[in-house]
Amino acid sequence: MLSIAAASILAKVTRDRMMRAQADTYPGFDFDRNKGYPCPRHQFALRGYGPTPIHRRSWAFMDSIPWLGTRIDPASHSQTTVS
């Protein structure tokens, strides 16, 4: 059991580091602070910018966010059409 707990902690720490590393690639989502977890600021950014390729599609609140259509690029604030 201890090895399972250690593996779980190691996986979470590794994922958190990976998400913090994406903060510069996807500005506006606060990955350096929220590590991709669905805090209110992150959910607000998702509604405004749309999801990125690294967002999990399995979270329940993601069902209400469109994955296709016009999206705002947080880095340049320009609109792009996604299909």
List of domains in the chain: 2-82 (3.30.420.10)
For residue range 20-57, list pLDDT tens digits in order. 999 999 988 999 999 888 888 888 888 888 888 888 77
Reported confidence tier of residue 80, pLDDT bands at 50, 70, 90: low
Mean pLDDT of the chain: 80
Stretch 51-78: mean pLDDT, rounded? 68
What are the residues whose beta carbons fall under 8 Å from the beta carbon of 38, sequence distance 6 or more? 59, 61
Q: 59 with 66: CB under 8 angstroms?
A: no
